[in-house]
Chain A
Amino acid sequence: EAGVAQSPRYKIIEKRQSVAFWCNPISGHATLYWYQQILGQGPKLLIQFQNNGVVDDSQLPKDRFSAERLKGVDSTLKIQPAKLEDSAVYLCASSLVGTRAFFGQGTRLTVV
C-alpha cells in the first residue's frame, strides 16, 4: 500500500516569498491533516480536512497560510508571504474516519 506522498522534500526561500506544498494521501482516506513541526518541538496541527471540507483550522495563521483539498483527495498548503519563523517541517497525514493517522515524510522549509 502506498503511503502519504509529499513534495517537495526540501525548499529554501527568501522571506516575503511564497511557497506551496503538495500532499497526496493514502487512497480512500477521507481525513487529511497538515502539521507544522518547528525544530525542537512536537508537530502542531494547522488544519484538518474531512473529504474536501475544513473540520478545524483554528491554529492556521490565516493572514499568510491557506490550504485547500480539491475533490477530497490531494491537498496543497500555501504560505504567502513567508516569514523567518515559518522555517519548519510541514507534515501531511491522512486517516480513515475515526482511525489513527499515517504521516508523510514531510517538507522541510527554510526561510532565509
Chain B
Amino acid sequence: DQQVKQNSPSLSVQEGRISILNCDYTNSMFDYFLWYKKYPAEGPTFLISISSIKDKNEDGRFTVFLNKSAKHLSLHIVPSQPGDSAVYFCAARFSNDYKLSFGAGTTVTVRA
C-alpha cells in the first residue's frame, strides 16, 4: 500500500528555470514531510522538510509547499542548476514514529 506517491517519474528543465516536483499522500495522520536527494551510487541526503503546522518552508533555492486539505506537497527549485540533476524522494512520517514512508522518486535532469 503506497501511502506516498510521486506520479512523475522524470522531469527535464533548462538551467536557470524553475523545477517543480509534486508529491501526494493518502494518510492524513502524517505529521512531517521531507525531501531527499540522491545521486547515482550514493545514499539519499536530506534536502528540506516541513511540519504539518506550516504551509511553506524555504531554504535558499529550495522551497517546499504543503497543502494539507489536498494531501499534496511540492518542492520548488529556483533557479535550477546542473548540480541539481538527481533523483528526488518525497517522504513522510508520523509524529510519534520516525520511520519514513517514501515515494518512488522523480529523476530531475537540468539541461545546460
Interface residues of A (CB under 8 A from B): 4, 31, 33, 40-45, 48, 56, 91, 93, 95, 98-106
Contacts of B34 in A (CB 8 A): 100
Contacts of B49 in A (CB 8 A): 100
- Asked if B4 is at the interface (CB within 8 A of a chain A CB), the reply is yes
- Contact A103 to B98, CB < 8 A, known contacts A40-B104, A42-B89, A42-B103: no
Which of under 10, 10 to 19, 20 to 34, or 35 or more describes the interface residues of B?
20 to 34
Q: Which of B43, B99, B100 contacts A106 (CB 8 A)?
A: B43
- Contact A101–B104 (Cβ < 8 Å): no
Contacts of A40 in B (CB 8 A): 9, 104
Contacts of A101 in B (CB 8 A): 46, 98, 100
Contacts of B42 in A (CB 8 A): 105-106
Contacts of A44 in B (CB 8 A): 102
A-B contact pairs, 23 of them (CB 8 A): A4-B43, A31-B98, A33-B99, A41-B104, A41-B105, A42-B91, A42-B102, A42-B103, A42-B104, A43-B44, A43-B100, A45-B99, A45-B101, A56-B99, A91-B44, A93-B43, A99-B98, A101-B98, A103-B43, A105-B41, A105-B43, A106-B42, A106-B43
- Contact B98–A98 (Cβ < 8 Å): yes
Contacts of A91 in B (CB 8 A): 43-44
* Chain B stretch 41-69: residues in CB contact (< 8 A) with chain A: 41-46, 49
Closest to B32 in A: A100
Contacts of B103 in A (CB 8 A): 42
Closest to A99 in B: B98
- Contact B98–A95 (Cβ < 8 Å): yes
- Contact B99–A104 (Cβ < 8 Å): no
CA distance A52 to B45 in the complex (A): 25
- Contact B46–A100 (Cβ < 8 Å): yes
Query: Other CB < 8 Å A-B pairs besides A42-B91, A91-B43, 17 of them?
Result: A40-B9, A42-B4, A42-B6, A42-B105, A43-B44, A43-B100, A44-B102, A45-B99, A95-B98, A99-B98, A100-B34, A100-B46, A101-B46, A101-B100, A103-B44, A104-B43, A105-B43
